[in-house]
Amino acid sequence: MKRLITPIVLGLALSGIASAQDSADLDRRLAQTEDKVIEWRRHIHQNPELGNREFETAKYVARHLESLGMEVETGIAHTGVVGLLKGGKPGPTIALRADMDALPVTEQVDVPFASRVTTEHNGEQVGVMHACGHDTHVAMLMGAAEVLAGMKDQLRGNVLFVFQPAEEGAPEGEEGGAELMLKEGLFRKYKPKVAFSQHITSRLPVGVIGYRSGPLMASSDRFRIVVNGRQTHGSLPWAGVDPITTAAQIVMGVQTIVSRQIDITKEPAVVSFGKIAGGVRNNIIPDNVELVGTIRNFDMDNRQQIFERLKITAENIAQSAGARADVTIDEGYPVTINDPALTKMAVPVLREVAGERKVMEIPKTTGAEDFSFFANEIPGFYYFLGATPKGTDPSKAASNHSPRFYVDEKALKTGTEALTQLALSYMARSADKD
């Protein structure tokens, strides 16, 4: 089907791709990558690797980028790979990012390329699966790299292809992911102006794109509270200090942080306890109790307030009981915030790619993403790409991180074109400003 003179074609003209003929050439290049992207995805899916251990995946990606004539750098943040595509005309550098790591999940999907990989994780033998769809992210970005590399002489600017390890978190005791890539100087070296990324999801029908301007995904932080009392016989609680009742009071007291102390009309927040551990038998009041939980929030100022109030609440409740609370907060991923101006530019592009009715604004999600580190450094835009097959209710489909997570590969074509067109359209906008 021939394209009309749409915003995309106009953008191509502005970026130096001057005609409907060139737009047809872009269509041809995208069509030529479609089967390759599926092949790459299946290979990666069948050979998954956990965070900071993506050795073979990194080699696979690097070989592809090198075959396209790019400047390729490996070993970033342990196993990260970047390729720099230099356009034939001056312009900005745009970062396109995909995450590479799999999860310690044993696959239950009946496909010919299902993972049978096992490995050791935290001292246990576990199955490994791309249960969050990062295999598709890598394959789609490899496809966009091939398309754009074939057009490099016409590009007004450069494209930095970022293949990131350990988005799901680094192994215990290690650094990793986007934060470490930045710490090692990735953006200082390549100086991208903006960053784009996408995430496959079973919560939307295949080919449907969900976006949101401003806060999209929550920050994610872990806390640990150790309540130290004094051990005594269960029949003589007054002879010691009971950390169990104190811990229970702390659990209830912490719930008032969000409900009574934070302005939730600004942004929502959640503080949840996921673990309580203490004691060994019915008639011994123990020395200590451990509480572990998570904090999710959409405002960076509120985030700091929650940290401070969690510490004050736990310590003061413990002190009132004659106990002591040691509070540790491990800061995780910041809020993922889509730059409003970049969102405004991107949405018409996505509508042109997916179709007007297949691009929709979605609610915030309390999940977290370490693309947030990139979007804190430069303007970023992050969106979701649906992968649930036609005829299946997305609300009933196996979710990301499930051993039954399934991707309709028709989504890969949409995702590959979306990344390609976002890069071209940003170059077009920059050329127009010039």
> Which positions are catalytic?
333, 409
| CB of 183 closer than 8 Å to CB of 174 | no
Instruction: Please name the residues in contact with 291: beta carbons below 8 A apart, sequence gap of 6 or more.
Output: 224, 225, 226, 227, 247, 250, 251, 273, 275, 276
| CB of 211 closer than 8 Å to CB of 347 | yes
| CB of 82 closer than 8 Å to CB of 188 | no
How is residue 14 annotated by DSSP? H
Which residue from 422, 331, 348 is spatially nearest to 379, judged by alpha carbons? 422
φ and ψ at residue 396, rounded to 5 degrees: -110, -5
77: tokens are 């943040």
Rounded CA separation 424/159 (Å) = 10
CA dihedral 408, 39, 57, 331 (to 10 degrees): -20
How is residue 103 annotated by DSSP? B
Instruction: Please name the residues in contact with 340: beta carbons below 8 A apart, sequence gap of 6 or more.
Output: 213, 214
